[in-house]
């Protein structure tokens, strides 16, 4: 029997039917009408529940696991030995079980747990040093040291404390400030370690609350040991639940992502076909619009549906990119290795790119309408030519009618290739065991080997034949296009307006044809890759998969790498030395210091380290650490004063102190939003704690059951509503503190519970105290977020916009170099890691991923702006959002240019193998000489980045290169090179796509430039002379 692996869960419902006939054919089981009706009702109820709540089987498993760990931690306190071990800090075991996130996939959980263990042990060592200093200060200032404590006192229930000592309190306060500063600066510098930083902050705060009250190092050591044991026990319970209860590996997550990726690609392809069908009846130049009465009055709603599918696919792509590194590092029993997973996902991404280009078709039509000045709010789909008012309306109606007729002619080939692509993706999913194999219900159909279905041997040959048939039908398709709208003079070099207009229509047809065939071709390559995996036996047997040394080394390097200002990380392009060097430009090297030359001797290198310290102290991370430390100490100081120390401990004011340390954010807007969410979460779960306690009249077993049930809600928020994640996090901690403390007191008694200086309160008082301390701590934290000066979301959004413009310039520069290399035929074998093509492709993908991540972060960041308290003029949020949208559009068209230029490398191979046509050779030569891309675009984007980042005006006279320069240059070089009679030549379609992509990209850049000018202004060095005789006349010198 073949062992189960990560993908076997996708096949559990696809087993052979036990009612198969004797002839071996599978037949559907016989069900009566009542049985079918019940099944349909249950299926409908299940789908409705999943659609409303988003809770499926896997989601509930995660919710169960997340609620189980803290429940076990609190329930275990009912054991006497357990209670004797942790005494008054047992509830912290449950808190650590919550903060350990047992719902994470295995690899991610183990990585986080490893860091948690390291920082907790490190924190224990540092706090022991701090408590030693505090105890020493007490002993040096007390004349009577007889009450220094003993091991017997240390082992007693609770925490043995001593009277107030100012020296011990002062030392503890200094240590608390230093530790919170270091932890918060580290959290800002390494955001990936936020959870370990929160755990370390809790350890430091709890330790320093009691440090000045210890009279002996023995007592301090006992408390630190007990606190460390509580933390580690919480980690242990969380680890057991994560690895044993409904285990979820990172590889399973990635396979689920890939399954969804393929499903989303198929849905997007079908949505594109629906959009193309809609072009037969709608006005292609009118966007989809709904009037105030709710009636659809213009455009194609199918275009909006297509874009929605692509947005969902883009989100899934980003998620898979995040999950894949953890799956590659995981030790597992499975089929596909890390390299196989990486290559499969890379090929899925390549399939997505031409589909992304297809989703831009509606934008291209809108740009055409905008350029011609047509009214896009009105549809001309059903208006006859006789009702046209003026030449412009007549031209538009003619264009709409032409597109209707043309799309009807193209319906059959486009529908055929779309179905072929869909079946190819289905074949891939079946071979990867991500989808069920189709069942043949008749023996005759099974014996029909000439018509293999997806998932069967022989289907790739059928797929290739259909794709070639579509490519061959291109000539007939384009001939029909030519006969329909190409007059004889189109074959000459005239540059009339009519020729330009009709050439653009032709280019749009070539645009659709090229992207559809390119999608089919990429799917064919993906099928070939999967067939190779099947032939090698990797898909049929499992094996032990262990990551190699190089991968583990890279994981450690990436784990500790700084992510502060991650958008600037584009300068870290992987350019390993090899036999062939690829120069990627100065922007990818370390930034130069205009005030210092590189150190040249030992003294300069040694003294250069001092500058590193100074730079860190002046960094935003250090600034944030100082804010958090000051905010924490502003309330902790109450516990270090003689008259208020007892009150501070008795009323649990340190809860507010802890909230400050773990909840502050660098920006005021985000902090205010998270503070509101945390207060809301605390209030809701405070009410739930009352319900859980009083609905069962305080019975321990009943309280634990309802505690477990209500924890599901917090885990659900984390899983399904990550935008309000603070509600789920603080909610679970709140109910754990309240109910955990109440059950703890019931087990050890009030006398032991109050031995640590905290007064006992019943739950109906304790819960409001928890809410009050949280509100007070969060309010004080917000004060320190805006004092002495606020770091507003406005300034952070502006800085992020500048970084994203710089990244866009970097991406375009790589695209520019890639196109030039492809035109020269210098890419080499892209499968070899030392080839220029491979390195440029790797750099391009890396910068593109960062561009997409930064733009997504910009959209999220812009949503926080509304939480900033408005002071002065209104923030131009709409302008920023418009620029972000245009940058995303420009990035998409840059991707399209890169995709289309990849055809030039294929043409080079075709030319070398088949001694291609004279037209192809001339075309390559002329395009190479004409310069497809422009360095001016990189310069323009870099200047805009600098202006936005520094808040300075743009240099004067900045211009975006004019579109369609390439067409004019080619016409000037050879008037026959772009003749319509050459439309079937290889390379003509790719040229059309580059031409459209370049035109749309430049339109976006023009809008971005105008938007940036509105934000920062433009330097004006002109000198205006106004005549006194005519004030309306101006001369500009």
**Would the pLDDT of 585 be above 60?**
no
Q: Is there a contact between 285 and 348 (Cβ–Cβ < 8 Å)?
A: no
Of the candidate ranges 118-127, 370-379, 673-682, the one whose mean pLDDT is the lowest: 370-379
What is the distance of C-alpha 953 from the center of its chain?
Answer: 32
Say which residue, 145 or 213, is predicted with more confidence.
213
Give, in degrees to the nearest 5, the angle at Cα 265 between 261 and 271.
140
- Kindly write down the DSSP assignment for every residue of 234-289, as one continuous string: HHHHHHHHHHHSS---HHHHHHHHHHHHHHHHHHHHHHHHHHHHHTTTS-TTS--E
Calculate the alpha carbon distances from 833 to 324, 574, 826, 828 in Å. 21, 11, 14, 10
Half-sphere exposure of 858 (CA within 13 A, CB side): 29
Would you state the pLDDT for residue 670?
Answer: 83
pLDDT tens across 278-334, in order?
A: 999 888 888 866 555 555 556 678 888 999 999 899 889 988 988 999 999 899 999
Half-sphere exposure of 474 (CA within 13 A, CB side): 24
Token pair listed for 1002 = 């430049």
What count of other Cβ atoms lies within 10 Å of the Cβ of residue 729? 23
**Would the pLDDT of 765 be above 50?**
yes
Give 148's pLDDT tier (boundaries 50, 70, 90). very low
Residue 298, beta-bridge partner list: 289
Would you state the pLDDT for residue 26?
Answer: 42
Half-sphere exposure of 75 (CA within 13 A, CB side): 15
Dist CA 394 CA 390 (whole Å): 6
Say which residue, 59 or 992, is predicted with more confidence.
59
Dist CA 208 CA 187 (whole Å): 20
Q: State mean pLDDT over 435-460.
A: 72
Of the candidate ranges 150-154, 610-614, 856-860, the one whose mean pLDDT is the lowest: 150-154
* 8-state DSSP, 406: H
Would you state the pLDDT for residue 16?
Answer: 40
What is the distance of C-alpha 577 from the center of its chain?
Answer: 31
Q: State mean pLDDT over 628-655.
A: 94
pLDDT tens across 223-244, in order?
A: 999 999 999 999 999 999 999 9
Q: What pairing do the DSSP bridges indicate for beta strands 1034-1036 and 1024-1026?
A: antiparallel
- Kindly write down the DSSP assignment for every residue of 591-633, as one continuous string: PP-TT-PPP-SHHHHHHHHHHHHHHHHTSHHHHHHHHHHHHHH
Of the candidate ranges 533-542, 718-727, 982-991, 998-1007, the one whose mean pLDDT is the lowest: 982-991
Q: Is there a contact between 240 and 403 (Cβ–Cβ < 8 Å)?
A: no
**Would the pLDDT of 581 be above 50?**
no
Q: CB within 8 A of 293, min separation 6: which ones?
A: none
pLDDT tens across 899-954, in order?
A: 888 877 766 665 555 545 566 666 666 666 656 557 889 999 999 999 999 999 99
Give 451's pLDDT tier (boundaries 50, 70, 90). confident
**Would the pLDDT of 964 be above 60?**
no
Helix (H, G, I), strand (E, B) or coil at 543: strand
Give 52's pLDDT tier (boundaries 50, 70, 90). confident
Say which residue, 582 or 717, is predicted with more confidence.
717
Would you state the pLDDT for residue 605?
Answer: 86
Tell me the CATH number for domain 250-440+448-545.
1.20.58.220
Dist CA 947 CA 944 (whole Å): 5
**Would the pLDDT of 751 be above 50?**
yes
pLDDT tens across 511-524, in order?
A: 898 999 999 999 99
Which of the listed ranges 155-159, 363-367, 693-697 does the model predict with the highest average pLDDT?
A: 693-697
Dist CA 235 CA 963 (whole Å): 60
Half-sphere exposure of 448 (CA within 13 A, CB side): 9
Dist CA 211 CA 926 (whole Å): 79
Dist CA 562 CA 564 (whole Å): 6
Of the candidate ranges 394-398, 439-443, 734-738, 752-756, the one whose mean pLDDT is the lowest: 439-443
Indicate the average pLDDT of the chain: 82
Would you state the pLDDT for residue 446?
Answer: 52
Q: State mean pLDDT over 967-973.
A: 61
Dist CA 212 CA 164 (whole Å): 8
**Would the pLDDT of 495 be above 60?**
no
Say which residue, 982 or 637, is predicted with more confidence.
637
Omega before 788 cis (within 30°)? yes
The H or E element that residue 73 is part of is helix 57-75
Give 631's pLDDT tier (boundaries 50, 70, 90). very high
CA nearest neighbour of 169 among 626, 635, 636: 636
**Would the pLDDT of 433 be above 80?**
yes
Would you state the pLDDT for residue 481?
Answer: 56
pLDDT tens across 685-705, in order?
A: 999 999 999 999 999 999 999
Would you state the pLDDT for residue 588?
Answer: 45
What is the rounded (10 degree) CA torsion for 663, 669, 672, 674?
-50
Say which residue, 98 or 914, is predicted with more confidence.
98
Would you state the pLDDT for residue 702?
Answer: 96
**Would the pLDDT of 582 be above 70?**
no
Token pair listed for 697 = 């009249």
Would you state the pLDDT for residue 27?
Answer: 43
Would you state the pLDDT for residue 970?
Answer: 59
Of the candidate ranges 94-103, 449-458, 498-507, the one whose mean pLDDT is the lowest: 498-507
Would you state the pLDDT for residue 69?
Answer: 96
Of the candidate ranges 447-451, 948-952, 992-996, 1015-1019, the one whose mean pLDDT is the lowest: 447-451
The ranges assigned to domains in the chain are 57-247+622-786, 250-440+448-545, 793-1025
Helix (H, G, I), strand (E, B) or coil at 334: strand
Say which residue, 728 or 928, is predicted with more confidence.
728
**Would the pLDDT of 540 be above 60?**
yes
Would you state the pLDDT for residue 712?
Answer: 96
**Would the pLDDT of 1029 be above 70?**
no
Give 432's pLDDT tier (boundaries 50, 70, 90). very high
Say which residue, 218 or 20, is predicted with more confidence.
218
Would you state the pLDDT for residue 390?
Answer: 79
**Would the pLDDT of 683 be above 80?**
yes
Would you state the pLDDT for residue 921?
Answer: 67
What is the rounded (10 degree) CA torsion for 70, 73, 74, 80?
180
**Would the pLDDT of 574 be above 50?**
no
Helix (H, G, I), strand (E, B) or coil at 828: coil
């Amino acid at each position: 029997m073949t062992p189960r692996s990560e993908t076997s869960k996708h096949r559990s419902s696809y087993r052979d039917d036990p009612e198969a006939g004797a002839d071996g054919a599978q037949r559907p089981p016989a069900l009566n009408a009542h049985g079918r009706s019940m099944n349909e009702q249950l299926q409908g109820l299940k789908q409705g529940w999943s659609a409303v709540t988003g809770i499926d089987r896997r989601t509930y498993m995660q919710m169960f696991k997340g609620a189980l760990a803290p429940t076990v931690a609190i329930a275990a306190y009912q054991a006497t030995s357990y209670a004797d071990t942790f005494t008054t800090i047992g509830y912290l075991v449950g808190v650590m079980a919550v903060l350990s996130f047992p719902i994470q996939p295995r690899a991610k959980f183990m990585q986080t747990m490893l860091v948690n263990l390291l920082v907790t042990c490190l924190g224990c060592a540092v706090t022991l040093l701090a408590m030693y200093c505090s105890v020493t200060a007490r002993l040096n200032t007390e004349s009577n040291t007889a009450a220094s404590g003993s091991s017997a006192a240390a082992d007693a229930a609770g925490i043995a404390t001593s009277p107030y000592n100012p020296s011990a309190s002062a030392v503890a306060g200094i240590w608390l400030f230093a530790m919170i500063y270091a932890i918060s600066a580290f959290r800002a510098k390494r955001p990936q370690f936020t959870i370990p930083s929160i755990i370390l902050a809790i350890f430091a705060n709890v330790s320093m609350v009691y440090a000045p009250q210890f009279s002996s190092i023995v007592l301090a050591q006992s408390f630190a040991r007990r606190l460390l044991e509580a933390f580690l026990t919480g980690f242990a319970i969380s680890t057991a639940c994560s690895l044993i209860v409904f285990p979820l590996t990172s590889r399973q997550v990635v396979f689920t992502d890939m399954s969804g990726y393929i499903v989303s690609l198929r849905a997007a392809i079908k949505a594109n076909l629906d959009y193309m069908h809609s072009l037969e009846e709608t006005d292609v130049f009118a966007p989809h619009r709904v009037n105030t009465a709710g009636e659809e009055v213009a455009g194609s709603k199918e275009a909006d549906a297509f874009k929605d599918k692509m947005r969902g696919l883009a989100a899934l792509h980003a998620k898979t990119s995040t999950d894949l590194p953890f799956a590659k590092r995981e030790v597992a029993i499975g089929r596909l290795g890390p390299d196989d997973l990486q290559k499969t996902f890379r090929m899925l991404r390549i399939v997505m790119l031409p589909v992304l280009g297809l989703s831009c078709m509606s934008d291209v039509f809108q740009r055409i309408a905008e350029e011609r000045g047509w009214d896009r709010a009105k549809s001309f789909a059903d208006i006859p030519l006789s009702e046209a008012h003026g030449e412009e309306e007549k031209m538009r109606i003619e264009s709409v009618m032409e597109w209707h007729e043309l799309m009807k002619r193209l319906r059959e080939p486009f529908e055929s290739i779309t179905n072929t692509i869909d079946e190819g993706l289905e074949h891939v999913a079946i071979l990867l065991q991500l989808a069920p194999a189709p069942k043949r219900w008749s023996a005759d159909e099974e014996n029909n080997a000439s018509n293999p279905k997806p998932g069967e041997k022989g289907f790739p040959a059928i797929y290739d034949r259909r794709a070639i048939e579509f490519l061959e039908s291109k000539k007939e398709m384009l001939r029909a296009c030519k006969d329909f709208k190409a007059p004889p003079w189109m074959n000459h070099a005239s540059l009339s307006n009519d020729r330009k207009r009709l050439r653009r229509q032709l280019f749009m047809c070539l645009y659709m044809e090229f992207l559809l065939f390119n999608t089919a071709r990429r799917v064919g390559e993906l099928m070939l890759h999967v067939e190779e995996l099947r032939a090698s036996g990797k898909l049929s047997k499992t094996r032990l998969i262990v990551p190699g040394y190089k991968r583990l080394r890279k994981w450690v390097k990436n784990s500790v790498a700084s992510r502060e200002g991650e958008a600037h990380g584009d300068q870290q392009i992987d350019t390993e030395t090899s036999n062939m060097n690829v120069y990627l430009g100065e922007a990818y090297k370390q930034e130069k210091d205009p005030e210092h030359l590189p150190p040249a001797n030992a003294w300069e290198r040694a003294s250069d380290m001092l500058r590193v310290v100074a730079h860190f102290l002046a960094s935003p991370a250090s600034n944030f650490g100082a804010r958090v430390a000051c905010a924490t100490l502003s309330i902790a100081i109450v516990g270090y004063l003689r008259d208020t120390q007892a009150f501070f401990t008795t009323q649990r004011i340190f809860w507010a102190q802890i909230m400050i340390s773990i909840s502050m954010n660098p920006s005021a807007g985000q902090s205010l939003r998270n503070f509101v969410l945390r207060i809301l979460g605390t209030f809701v779960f405070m009410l739930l704690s009352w319900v859980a306690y009083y609905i069962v009249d305080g019975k321990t077993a009943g309280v634990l059951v309802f505690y477990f049930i209500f924890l599901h809600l917090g885990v659900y928020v984390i899983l399904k509503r990550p935008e309000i994640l603070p509600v789920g996090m603080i909610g679970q901690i709140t109910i754990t503190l309240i109910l955990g403390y109440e059950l703890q007191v019931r087990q050890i008694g009030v006398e032991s519970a109050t031995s640590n200086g905290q007064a006992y309160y019943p739950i109906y008082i304790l819960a409001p105290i928890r809410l009050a301390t949280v509100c007070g701590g969060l309010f004080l934290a917000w004060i320190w977020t805006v004092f002495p000066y606020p770091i507003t979301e406005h300034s952070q959004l502006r800085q992020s916009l500048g970084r994203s413009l710089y990244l866009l310039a970097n991406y375009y520069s790589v695209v520019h170099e890639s196109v030039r290399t492809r035109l020269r035929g210098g890419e080499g074998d892209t499968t070899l890691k030392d080839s220029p093509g491979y390195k440029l492709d790797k750099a391009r993908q890396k910068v593109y991923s960062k561009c997409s991540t930064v733009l997504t972060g910009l959209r999220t960041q812009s949503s926080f702006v509304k939480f900033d308290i408005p002071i002065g003029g209104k923030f131009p949020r709409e302008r920023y959002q418009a620029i972000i949208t245009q940058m995303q559009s420009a990035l998409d068209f840059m991707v399209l240019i890169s995709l289309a230029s990849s055809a030039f490398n294929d043409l080079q191979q075709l030319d070398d193998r088949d001694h291609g046509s004279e037209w192809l050779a001339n075309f390559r030569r002329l395009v190479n000489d004409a310069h497809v891309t422009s360095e001016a675009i990189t310069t323009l984007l870099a200047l805009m980045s600098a202006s936005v980042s520094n808040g300075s005006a743009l240099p004067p006279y900045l211009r975006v290169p004019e579109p369609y320069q390439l067409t004019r240059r080619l016409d000037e070089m050879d008037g026959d090179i772009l003749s319509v009679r050459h439309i079937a030549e290889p390379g003509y379609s790719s040229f059309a796509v580059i031409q459209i992509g370049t035109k749309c990209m430049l339109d976006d850049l023009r809008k971005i430039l105008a938007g940036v000018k509105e934000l920062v202004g433009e330097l004006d060095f002109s000198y205006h002379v106004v005549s006194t005789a005519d004030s309306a006349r101006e001369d500009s010198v």
